[in-house]
Amino acid sequence: MNPRVVAVKPNSNHTITLTFTNGEVRVFDVKPYLDRGIFQELSDLRYFNSVKPVLGSVQWKNGQDSCPDTLYMDSFPLPDGVSDTLDSKQQAMNLEVAT
């Protein structure tokens, strides 16, 4: 069984930074889901920012959620030295500078 979500932070580029029960901090990209059914509401950043951790997963105020296994397996870990307070675009820019 994969670890579960204990904390979530929405980012301005429609990604979420997730902290898991094993201590890992990973980023999940929600953009591929924004044109699908009830997930279309997440295009509005004000609504997107309502995300919260619920029972090892994440959920938005109208009930949109994701499987915790999907969140873990389809997210990518933050590289060493990259702060989880940065949004993914800024993290990517930091990685380009570092390489």
pLDDT, tens digit only, all 99 positions of the chain: 899 999 999 999 999 999 999 999 999 999 999 999 999 999 999 999 999 999 999 999 999 999 999 999 999 998 766 665 544 444 444 334 333
pLDDT for 98: 37
Q: CA angle, 4 as apex, 31 and 54 as ends, to 5°?
A: 75
CATH superfamily of 5-98: NE0471-like N-terminal domain (3.30.2020.10)
**Residue whose C-alpha is closest to residue 17's, from 78, 73, 89:** 78
Report field, pTM of the whole predicted structure over 0.75: yes
Domain coordinates in residue numbering, the chain: 5-98
pLDDT for 86: 43
The answer to whether residues 82 and 94 touch, using CB atoms and an 8 Å cutoff, is yes
